[in-house]
Amino acid sequence: MKTFQQKGENIKRDWHLVDAKGQVLGRISTQIATYLIGKNKVTYTPHTDMGDYVVVINAKDVVLTGKKLEQKTYKSHSGYPGGFKEVKASKLMKENPEKVILKSVTGMLPTNRLRKNRLARLKIYESSKYPYGDKFDTLNPK
């Protein structure tokens, strides 16, 4: 008996709507990453990009537990001398709450050649308005 390998032309991509209102950031990010990778499908094949589209709404209402809102920092370095930047989670939540979810989901995806394509299927919106109509299979996956 041979192991099943999903072919690229047979992939069916679904749309999932995730409402982040009142949800914990880490919990919701793992659900989003699972949909982007495609691990929720029976025909999951690790080397094939078979994930779904994910639309996240109400990003401004996502919850960080404990003291993370005051203590958590996002660090980056440009590679040049003096290019170190540090932003607190509270400041990033006020200015750009979509980035908080994007950084969390990005950290949960494997670092390989499929990562960029998977992130391209992630759409994050600050409010409950989105331009995709009625394409969705699930609302608030648990």
Residue 17 to residue 32: CA distance in whole angstroms: 10
Residue ranges and CATH numbers for the domains of the chain are 13-63+96-139 (3.90.1180.10)
Contacts of 116 (CB under 8 A, 6+ apart): none
Do 93 and 69 meet the contact criterion of CB atoms below 8 Å apart? yes
Q: Residues of 71-101 as b/e, b for ≥16 C-beta within 10 angstroms?
A: ebeeeeeeeeeeeeeeeebeebbeeebbbbb
Quote the pTM value. 0.88
Collapsed DSSP state (helix, strand, coil) of residue 108: helix
- Stretch 30-53: mean pLDDT: 93
Band (pLDDT 50/70/90 cuts) for residue 129 is confident
For residue range 91-123, list pLDDT tens digits in order. Answer: 999 999 999 999 999 999 999 999 999 999 999
Which residues lie across from 117 on neighbouring strands?
none
Q: Whole-angstrom Cα distance, residue 121 to residue 1?
A: 34
